[in-house]
Structure 1
Amino acid sequence: MGNPDLQHRCRQGRRCAARTRTPANEWLAAGVERPDSLCRPCEERAFDAIRELGDDYQMLEVARTEIHSKVSAPKVSGSSELPVPISLAADTLLSDIDTEALRWAFQLTRGEPIPDSGALTLVCTRLGTLVDLPPQLVTVWSPHPDGGDDTTTASLDGVDAVLRLADLHRRAGLVLGITPQRVNFLREPCHVCGLAMLEASVKTDMVKCHSCRNVWSQDQFARLNNPLVAA
């Protein structure tokens, strides 16, 4: 029945990493102790994505440089390559990473100067503090249909900060053309922790639990979870 003390649900809702199916075949987010918070698996997944942003940034800068060099190279007759839109996407995403990192670094330092290591490094070293920040009014930019950006104010808290930063890693994968490893999510619960957070990789032939972090080969997993196979 779950922990009766967990009266709230992960803010990710149907996208919760630890969601389960109800008897009515509906997705139910994992229980959490505090309202408007993330469950531990969602929090860890977001933290992992944010920690990848430093590498994403470097790859985006390389991609932008490579594209600009192609643009400045002599034209080849009959070439249909159009690199500029990709360059603009990389430029925009680099700017968005800088903006979000600086926004939350200033919140964490309470307006004090950012260390020489940079805003993104500061944020990555204080993710536990970041996710617990209370709601506050911040300025956000959104594209205007006629060009340029509109500025508005919005109330965002630490969970918003973490989800916004994590989404930048997802966008980086799209801009860079990085194809995620093929995986299948299994419906049965993990035999160690009991949560339905099992991922089977087609490429590596391994099964991983995103909750307890245990990893098995698919043959070993089958023996552990099916007595008939073990016999």
Structure 2
Amino acid sequence: MNTSAGLCLADERHVRQAITRLPEDYVRLHLHIGRATSGTAEFATGTKELPVPLRLDVEGLQREIVEEAVRWSEPVAEACGVPWDTQHARDSRPGPLLTQACTLLADRLPVLLALRDVPQLVWDVDHQRTVLERDGVDGALRLLDLHHRAGRVLAVDRKIYRLPEPCPACGVSAVEHADGADIVDCRDCGVRFVWDDFRRRTDPLARLEEAS
């Protein structure tokens, strides 16, 4: 992968898939917080203040996802001549705003990757606001990393199994299924299948049961 010249086609595909799934990650992280604070979560109780659930890291990850997606939506929209109301974005609820931003970025990924030296106000290592010039490739890889971070957090809730069957789309044995989920994901090509459809494509017995 040569980030100075952009991304290869496979990496572009992975980035697009990650951006498309960020709104779902956001919702699942919200549900994750709800489960963690439903009575079984650990709390910080070393002070006289009210107990605080130790899930602030998840809320911080949600905030990073929204901020990064919105941060890149404005220059992409400007480059494409697409309306983007910055003030309205600041006043919008984070969930719908994230969906709008990710749709824009996924549909116009080549524009994002072509951006160079975009000045952005970000937090530095000392937790101070500073202006940095960043490329669109940096933003794309950052969004990909946020998707992977969300996946690691959510994997705590349920087991992820690597299935032996190759992916019906690309033929690579990289299909994963989360315990209890009704979908499976190919980690190589990024295609998702409904569980019943995946079984029909890969299990001869499932096809016979359906035909009988």
Q: TM-score range by the shorter chain?
A: 0.5 to 0.7
The equivalent of 1:112 in structure 2 is 84
Task: Verify: 1:140 aligned to 2:119, yes or no.
Answer: no
CA–CA distance in 1 between the matches of 2:25 and 2:187?
25
Instruction: Please give the residue correspondences for 1:156-195 in structure 2 after superposition, counting only pairs within 5 Å.
Output: 156-177=134-155, 181-182=161-162
Report the 3-state secondary structure (helix = DSSP H, G, I; strand = E; otherwise coil) of the residue aligned with 1:70.
coil
2:6 corresponds to 1:37: yes
Distance 2:18 2:133 in 1: 23
8 Å Cα contact 1:135-1:156 kept in structure 2: yes
Structure scoring higher RCO (CA < 8 A, sep ≥ 6) equals 2
Instruction: String of CA shifts for 1:94-113, please: whole Å, max 9, x gaps.
Output: 10011101101111223831
Task: Structure 1: give runs of 5+ residues left out of the alignment.
Answer: 1-8, 12-34, 73-81, 185-196, 218-231
**Where do residues 123-134 of structure 1 align in structure 2 (5 Å cutoff)?**
123-134=105-116
For 2:20 and 2:121, how far apart are their aligned partners in 1?
24
Residue 151 of structure 1 and its aligned partner are, at CA, apart by 2.2
List per-residue Cα deviations over 1:71-119 (Å, max 9, x = no partner). Answer: 79xxxxxxxxx9922x212100110011101101111223831597632
Q: Which amino acid is 2:2 matched to?
A: C
1:56 is matched with which residue: 15, 18, 25? 25
Q: Does 1:99 align with 2:67?
A: yes
> Match of 2:2?
10
Distance 1:107 1:182, change over 3 A: same
CA shift for structure 1 position 67: 2.6
Is the Cα–Cα contact under 8 Å of residues 89 and 175 in structure 1 kept in the other structure?
Answer: no
Q: Residues 199 and 209 of structure 1 are in contact (CA less than 8 Å); yes or no, is this contact kept in structure 2?
A: no
CA deviations 1:147-189 (Å, max 9, x no partner) are xx222222211111110111110010122125554489xxxxx
- Alpha-carbon offset, residue 45 of structure 1: 1.2
TM-score by length of 2: 0.58
**Aligned counterparts of 2:19 and 2:122: Cα–Cα separation in 1:** 19
**How far apart, in 1, do the equivalents of 2:111 and 2:176 lie?**
36
Question: 1:57 Cα deviation (Å)?
Answer: 0.6
Q: Percent identity, please.
A: 29
- TM-score when normalising by structure 1: 0.54
Describe the shift of the 1:65–1:203 C-alpha distance in structure 2 as closer, same or farther (beyond 3 A): closer
Structure having the larger proportion of residues in helix: 2
Specify the alignment match of 2:47 in structure 1: none
The answer as to whether partners of 2:176 and 2:187 remain within 8 angstroms in 1 is no
Question: 2:75 & 2:100 partners in 1: Cα distance?
Answer: 14
